[in-house]
């Protein structure tokens, strides 16, 4: 018997067909459910479970830097600095520079200084309601991304800006860091899901095929999938009006704000999915395009190299960027 087992193991090693068990863990982090699944890794010292636990520790470290509400985070200290310079980490400087890039690229549709408006709308609160118009107007005047000044490792918020919020970009930045960490530690096949941010490392080695990353049906309340994007080594990020919202007098008020009005963006889109190499680009662009709307958003996506998108409008129509004519494939769910 022993001989047979040894022979089987030996054969599996020779033919390279020893299949690794898929390992998956979920944690509640970044205000959402985060799941990491490893399909294959070649790390001689650490198990897949250990690698996932370490990745979650890294995620928690980033949350402690980027959170608006965790006291002592870089963002908390910036928001409580009363206009004084604040010393922050390299990661915070980097993410602020990326945010500024997308604010410029989107002509202000993406703006992390919308923070006071998000606090006022309080979409995560117990009983959110539409704030008084005068209050929205007063806080809209505090939105201006050009007033975030960085020099070396210091950040200063100049008046009228009082606060920033990385909710539209942090998950993408963190997904990139986690994928780097896992790759550096021998992971060749894995998926990372941080709420609406998905990232595929390599392809699905368990089934010898690319990964199928799902786009949620924005109109289905059970979170069912509308279709799949077939891809390897890519990020897929969705911004949707169904992710955080409340209904008042029959109207849906969702968490993606138009910095120009101070109200939830009313561009006619209800879901924007970006497919890109880096998840921080996808995260910033999904929010940007949601606010820009179909025409301007799709024009922006088609002007960018190696970035693709699927937009869904309020009537359920789907729109695909040019890359779907060849490189990327979309398959509707059955």
Residues contributing to the site for ligand AMP (CB under 6 A): 110-112, 114, 118, 165, 167-168, 239, 243-244, 255-257, 259, 283, 286-287, 291
Q: In angstroms, what is the C-alpha Rg of the chain? A: 21
Of Mg ion, ligand AMP, none, which one sits near residue 235, judging by CB under 5 to 8 A according to partner kind?
Answer: none
Q: Nearer Cβ to Mg ion, position 106 or 286?
A: 286
Q: Please, which residues bridge with residue 201 across strands?
A: 190
Site string for Mg ion, 273-312 (x = CB under 5 A): ----------x--xx-------------------------
Q: Nearer Cβ to ligand AMP, position 114 or 203?
A: 114
**How many CA atoms lie within 13 Å of 278's alpha carbon, on the beta-carbon side?**
13
Q: How far is the CB of 270 from ligand AMP (least distance, A)?
A: 12
Of Mg ion, ligand AMP, none, which one sits near residue 167, judging by CB under 5 to 8 A according to partner kind?
Answer: ligand AMP
Q: Nearer Cβ to ligand AMP, position 234 or 255?
A: 255
User: Distance between CA 215 and CA 164 in Å, rounded?
Assistant: 29
Q: How far is the CB of 34 from ligand AMP (least distance, A)?
A: 15
> Nearest-CB residue to ligand AMP?
167
DSSP string, 262-329: SSB--SSEEEEEEEESSHHHHHHHHHHHHHH-HHHHHHHHHHSTT-EEEEEETT--EEE-GGGGTT-E
Is position 168 an interface residue for Mg ion (rule: CB under 5 A)? yes
Q: Which long-range contacts (CB under 8 A, 24 or more apart) does 207-216 make?
A: 212/331, 214/333, 215/271, 215/273, 215/310, 215/330, 216/240, 216/242, 216/271
Of 160, 185, 179, the C-alpha closest to 51 is 185
Is position 118 an interface residue for Mg ion (rule: CB under 5 A)? no
Q: How far is the CB of 282 from ligand AMP (least distance, A)?
A: 9
Q: How far is the CB of 256 from ligand AMP (least distance, A)?
A: 5
User: Distance between CA 195 and CA 169 in Å, rounded?
Assistant: 12
Q: In the complex, which residues of this chain contact Mg ion (CB under 5 A)? A: 168, 283, 286-287
């Amino acid at each position: 018997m022993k001989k047979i087992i040894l022979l089987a193991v030996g054969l599996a090693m020779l033919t390279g067909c020893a299949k690794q068990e898929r390992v998956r863990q979920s944690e509640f982090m970044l205000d959402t459910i985060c799941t990491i699944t490893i399909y294959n890794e070649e790390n001689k010292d650490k198990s897949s479970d250990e690698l996932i636990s370490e990745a979650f520790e890294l995620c928690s470290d980033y949350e402690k830097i980027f959170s608006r509400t965790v006291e002592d985070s870089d963002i908390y200290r910036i928001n409580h600095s009363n206009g004084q310079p604040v010393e922050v980490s390299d990661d915070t400087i980097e993410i602020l520079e990326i945010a500024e890039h997308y604010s410029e690229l989107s002509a202000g549709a993406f703006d992390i200084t919308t923070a006071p408006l998000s606090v006022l709308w309080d979409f995560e609160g117990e009983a959110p309601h539409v704030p008084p118009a005068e209050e929205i107007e007063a806080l809209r005047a505090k939105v201006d991304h050009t007033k975030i000044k960085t020099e070396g490792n210091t950040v200063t918020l100049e008046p009228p800006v009082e606060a920033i919020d990385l909710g539209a970009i942090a998950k993408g930045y963190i997904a990139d860091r986690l994928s780097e960490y896992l790759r550096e530690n021998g992971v060749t096949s894995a998926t990372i899901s941080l709420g609406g941010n998905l990232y595929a490392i390599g392809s699905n080695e368990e089934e010898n095929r690319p990964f199928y990353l799902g786009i949620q049906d924005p109109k289905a309340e059970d979170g069912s999938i509308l279709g799949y994007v077939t891809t390897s080594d890519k990020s897929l990020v969705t911004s949707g009006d169904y992710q955080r919202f409340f209904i008042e007098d029959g109207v849906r008020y969702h968490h993606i704000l138009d910095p120009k009005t101070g109200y939830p963006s009313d561009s006619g889109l209800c879901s924007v999915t970006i497919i890109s190499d880096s998840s921080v680009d996808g995260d910033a662009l999904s929010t940007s395009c949601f606010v820009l709307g179909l025409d301007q958003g799709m024009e922006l996506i088609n002007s960018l190299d190696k970035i693709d998108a699927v937009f869904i409008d309020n009537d359920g129509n789907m729109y695909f960027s040019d890359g779907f004519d060849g490189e990327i494939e979309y398959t509707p769910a059955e």
